Structure 1
Amino acid sequence: MYPFLSDADADNWHDFEVGSRREILALLRGISEKKQMIRMLPVGDTDMCVTTILHVDADNDSVLLDRPSDPEETARLMSGRPVSFETTLDNIRIIFGTEVMQLGMHDAVPALKIPLPPSLIRLQRREFYRMATPVGNPVKVIIPMPEEQGGGDAAFQLSDISCGGIAILDNRFVLGDSIGHEYGGCRIDLPEIGPIVTGLQIRNSQEMTLMNNKANRRLGCQFIDISPGAMSAVQRYITKLERERNARMAGLK
């Protein structure tokens, strides 16, 4: 029921299960109000799609979700298989599932309708699983610099990537370290996947000294205003990195 969970998390998921109806309603409404994107994955599939919560109906114990524009994606979700959902709320990972998916409408907008989950998993850990990006062929993000910072575009190497954001290395110390500072229209070229454009917000900053004694700065950045298509591309790239890592590990055995 929870394919988004790692094996380690699945072994311990009972420790993080929320069964209170009132708390479940509050969490789902918070996700809806903040328009958090939710990954949907039918059990047995590898291709996920993205949705948002349109409405939480406490009177009818149901949740209305945005319906994918692609009819094939809708057909996959309506195939009768259980579907798992993952999102975050205030940096807390939220996972739930359903075995019943119906077509519906909300304010004349096509929707998907599921029963209110009887329970969900709330993991207050690192909000996303991060994958280190290749060192030999580094992934770059192109950030448009504001005029007060010199203007033009600047390229920075990624250190890691997750569905929540990226960590970048600013060895020229040109971005500053102001927590909460935002950069719009940033472009990330994901190898074999394609380019995505997203906003970035600096969430943390760490000064480092590399093995060659050169100073560097690692900036943890959160995606902002990222489109569902771009989020899907990030997930596909993370899956690609995981497969490559697993293949390398298998080759060492």
Structure 2
Amino acid sequence: MNKMEPENWHDYEVESRREILALMRRISEQRQLVRMIVSGTSDSCITSLLAIDPDSNTMTFDRSVDAEQHHRILAAGGIDCETSLDKIRILFSVRNLRETAYENGTALQAPVPETLIRLQRREYYRIPTPLSNPVRVVLPVAGNGETAPLTLPLADLSCGGIAILDNKRQLNNQIGLVLPDCRIELPEFGPVTTSLQIRNSVDMTLLHNKPNHRLGCQFVDISPANLAKVQRYITKLQREQNARMAGLV
């Protein structure tokens, strides 16, 4: 797996072939986005799992639209993959990728992994960010040949990612888009820098029928130190929330 994974990720390892096949089949049927990363590099692409064949023990992925990247992926010794299913993050590695014919074109085929990591739902507990002391994210946005920072408020936060409120639709909402070098300003804890991948985009209505736009983003290659800072901030918010419910504040 990639460098960001804590040492205890093995606690969530799935080794049952039947369970792995069932998960992969659902990922394929639901057309979940899969991020492929060339092992040991930052070279990545967004793809999808087109088919799974238990009889031949193979999976077929859509190929990269970039021809040069497609050849780099084929030439790589290993590929790390990351996706999600029912808000549960799933990580696995594939080896021996090869090109294969698929419908009217070509695709990528690899053996079904012998193991995968499935992070439990509790790892993705989302907590609303406070209105009294808002959490904001600063995103470097390219335009007119320059990169200018765009600051937007968060709706909620988890150890897997954030939800951004963008009522003016200033941010590109392309699903799968990776935004590098984003800075989340956590009150009292300081900044957390990470790349973000846009996973979903939805219109929503806030109090008093006020419309807004919500972008769900997943952390990409966040460092263990920054992930720990996010966890500490979430723990702080949970304690404050529990104290309010108990009437202590």
User: Are the counterparts in 2 of residues 19 and 119 from structure 1 also a CA contact under 8 Å?
Assistant: yes
Q: Distance in 1 between matches of 2:22 and 2:13?
A: 15
Q: Are residues 1:3 and 2:23 paired?
A: no
Q: 2:109 aligns with which of 108, 113, 132?
A: 113
Distance verdict in 2 for CA 1:78–1:139, change over 3 Å: closer
Number of residue pairs the alignment of both structures matches: 185
Q: Residues 28-43 of structure 1 correspond to what in structure 2 (within 5 A)?
A: 28-43=24-39
Q: Are residues 1:82 and 2:89 paired?
A: no
Distance verdict in 2 for CA 1:91–1:192, change over 3 Å: closer
Q: Are residues 1:92 and 2:88 paired?
A: yes
Q: Distance in 1 between matches of 2:13 and 2:199?
A: 35
Provide the secondary structure at the position in 2 that maps to 1:85.
strand
Distance verdict in 2 for CA 1:59–1:68, change over 3 Å: same
Equivalent position of 2:201 in the other structure = 199
Equivalent position of 2:21 in the other structure = 25
Q: Per-residue deviation at 1:80?
A: 3.3
User: Are the counterparts in 1 of residues 201 and 214 from structure 2 also a CA contact under 8 Å?
Assistant: no
User: Are the counterparts in 2 of residues 4 and 86 from structure 1 also a CA contact under 8 Å?
Assistant: no
Provide the secondary structure at the position in 2 that maps to 1:52.
strand
Distance verdict in 2 for CA 1:41–1:161, change over 3 Å: farther
Q: TM-score, normalised by structure 1?
A: 0.57
User: Are the counterparts in 2 of residues 167 and 220 from structure 1 also a CA contact under 8 Å?
Assistant: no
Distance verdict in 2 for CA 1:137–1:35, change over 3 Å: closer
Equivalent position of 2:145 in the other structure = none
Give ranges in structure 2 of 5+ residues lacking alignment.
142-150, 173-178, 183-197, 228-249
Identity over aligned pairs, percent:
37
Superimposed CA distance per residue, residues 139-190 of structure 1 (whole angstroms, 9 cap, x where no aligned partner): 599xxxxxxxxxxxxx9634678998743469xxxx8xxxxxxxxx944166
Equivalent position of 2:171 in the other structure = 188
Distance verdict in 2 for CA 1:162–1:66, change over 3 Å: farther
Provide the secondary structure at the position in 2 that maps to 1:88.
strand
Q: Distance in 2 between matches of 1:197 and 1:90?
A: 13
Q: Are residues 1:56 and 2:52 paired?
A: yes
Q: Per-residue deviation at 1:44?
A: 1.5
User: Are the counterparts in 1 of residues 57 and 112 from structure 2 also a CA contact under 8 Å?
Assistant: yes
Q: Distance in 2 between matches of 1:30 and 1:95?
A: 15
Distance verdict in 2 for CA 1:94–1:138, change over 3 Å: closer
Q: Distance in 2 between matches of 1:121 and 1:77?
A: 22
Equivalent position of 1:212 in the other structure = none
Superimposed CA distance per residue, residues 55-103 of structure 1 (whole angstroms, 9 cap, x where no aligned partner): 0011100000000111111122112311110100001111111221100
